[in-house]
Structures are given as structure tokens and as C-alpha cells.
């Protein structure tokens, strides 16, 4: 057994867990965070994507014990008191969701990209979600949703910079 200390969605949690427990099972079964989906269980579909220390990773391929003293964000952790994350809102506004099974992983891969690179090129977006498979859609609406999220995020940043410039005048 392993004494795990892990930060999930901004909350530190301590649990005794089996050494071989996958992060995916820890999130879904121990914490009840069932927004993280299991598709292939082999690192091929991206349905289990979470953000670990700022990087999108397949939680089916990582042991919970490997995340000791690290920060994990799941789809449940994106919404704040201000509402949905811009990436979630863009997917919603753009009608990019059909059955929804792939969407938590798609959103988290997109979120990790935009956190690191708020103005990605089309190729960078395609690369970021290339590990996330969707059986329902063509990928056009997903790609345009990430672009829309990028526009929302960068316009918010520009507004904040304008306000701080005015405050400094
Ligand atoms: Fe992890 Fe498919 S369930 S990549
Ligand atoms: Fe159904 Fe992507 S919306 S798998």
C-alpha cells in the first residue's frame, strides 16, 4: 500500500491506495470523478485525459502513486464561480458535442494547450488533440471551438491589459 498525497482540482487529498492503482481508477472510483472516461485503457483514445502538472496525460497509463505531491485537474475542476471555463463554453456555444464521451478529454487537451499557448496555429491545435478520438463528429467543430476559446481568452487578456494600462495612466 502507498500513502498518496495529491492535489485534485485545487484540493489536497491523502489516501492509502494499492501501489498498482491507476490514476484513472483512483479518480473515478475513489474520488467519484466520473467525468474522466475509460475508452481503450491502452493510451490510444484520450477519453481518460486529465491535466497533470500542466500537461495533458492519459490517466489510464499513469499510476496514482506516480502523482504523489502533484497537481491534477479533471473536467470537474474547470468550472469556477465565474462559470464555465472558456474552453467548455466554446464547445457548448459551437455545438461541438454529440454523445459527449470524448469531450472531457478533448476539453482538457485543449485547455492544456491554451494555458501554454493562448494563440495556437491550426496545426498546433490539431497536434494537441491528435491523441483524442471522437467517434461522432468530424473534427471541424472541435477545432473551431478551440479557436473560439483562444479568441475568448486572448480578448479577456487584452481587456485586462487595457484596464491596467488605464489604471497606470
Ligand atoms: Fe486512456 Fe483510452 S482510456 S487513452
Ligand atoms: Fe461522441 Fe466525441 S462526441 S465520441
Domain boundary among 57, 77, 97: 77
Residues with CB under 6 A from ligand 2: 97-103, 134-137
Kindly state if the Cβ of 131 falls inside 6 Å of ligand 1.
no
| Structure confidence by residue, pLDDT tens digits, 3-62 | 999 999 999 999 999 999 999 999 999 999 999 999 999 999 999 999 999 999 999 999
For residue 39, the ligand 1 atom closest to its alpha carbon is: 3
End-to-end CA distance of the chain: 59
Residue 45 sits in the same domain as residue 121: no
Instruction: Please give the distance, rounded to the nearest whole angstrom, from the Cα atom of residue 106 to the centre of ligand 2.
Output: 9
Residue 144 sits in the same domain as residue 161: yes
Best residue among 41, 56, 133, 134 to mutate for probing ligand 1's pocket (most ligand atoms within 8 Å of CB) is 41
Best residue among 103, 131, 142, 145 to mutate for probing ligand 2's pocket (most ligand atoms within 8 Å of CB) is 103
| Structure confidence by residue, pLDDT tens digits, 131-164 | 999 999 779 999 999 999 999 999 877 777 777 7
Domain that holds residue 154: 79-169
Kind and range of the H or E element at 50? strand 49-52
- Give the closest ligand to the alpha carbon of residue 142: 2
What's the CATH code of the domain at 85? 1.10.150.120
Alpha helices in the chain (DSSP H): 23-25, 86-93, 103-116, 122-128, 140-168
Determine the average pLDDT of the residues in 117-132: 97
Residue 21 sits in the same domain as residue 90: no
Residue 95 sits in the same domain as residue 163: yes
For residue 38, the ligand 1 atom closest to its alpha carbon is: 3
| Structure confidence by residue, pLDDT tens digits, 68-116 | 999 999 999 999 988 999 999 999 999 999 999 999 999 999 999 999 9
Residue 131 sits in the same domain as residue 155: yes
Residue 130 sits in the same domain as residue 157: yes
Question: Does the predicted TM-score (pTM) go above 0.95?
Answer: no
Say how many C-beta atoms besides its own lie within 10 A of residue 100's C-beta: 12
Nearest CA to ligand 2 atom 2: 134
The whole-number pLDDT of residue 169 equals 65
Number of domains in the chain: 2
What's the CATH code of the domain at 69? 3.10.20.30
Residue 99 sits in the same domain as residue 168: yes
Domain boundary among 77, 112, 135: 77
Residue 71 sits in the same domain as residue 29: yes
The whole-number pLDDT of residue 168 equals 67
Residue 68 sits in the same domain as residue 87: no
Domain boundary among 58, 77, 96: 77
Amino acid at each position: 500500500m502507498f500513502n498518496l498525497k495529491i492535489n485534485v482540482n485545487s484540493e489536497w487529498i491523502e489516501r492509502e491506495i494499492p501501489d498498482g492503482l491507476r490514476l484513472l481508477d483512483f479518480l473515478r472510483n475513489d474520488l467519484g470523478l466520473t467525468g474522466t472516461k475509460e475508452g481503450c485503457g491502452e493510451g490510444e483514445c484520450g477519453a481518460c485525459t486529465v491535466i497533470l502538472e500542466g500537461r495533458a496525460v492519459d490517466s489510464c497509463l499513469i499510476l496514482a502513486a506516480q502523482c504523489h505531491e502533484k497537481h491534477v485537474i479533471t473536467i470537474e475542476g474547470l468550472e469556477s464561480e465565474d462559470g464555465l471555463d472558456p474552453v467548455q463554453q466554446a464547445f457548448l456555444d459551437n455545438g461541438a458535442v454529440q454523445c459527449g464521451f470524448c469531450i472531457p478529454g478533448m476539453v482538457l487537451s485543449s485547455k492544456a494547450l491554451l494555458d501554454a499557448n493562448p494563440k495556437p496555429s491550426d496545426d498546433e491545435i490539431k497536434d494537441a488533440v491528435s491523441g483524442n478520438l471522437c467517434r461522432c463528429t468530424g473534427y471541424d467543430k472541435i477545432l473551431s471551438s478551440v479557436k473560439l476559446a483562444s479568441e475568448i481568452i486572448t480578448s479577456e487578456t487584452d481587456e485586462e491589459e487595457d484596464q491596467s494600462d488605464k489604471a497606470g495612466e
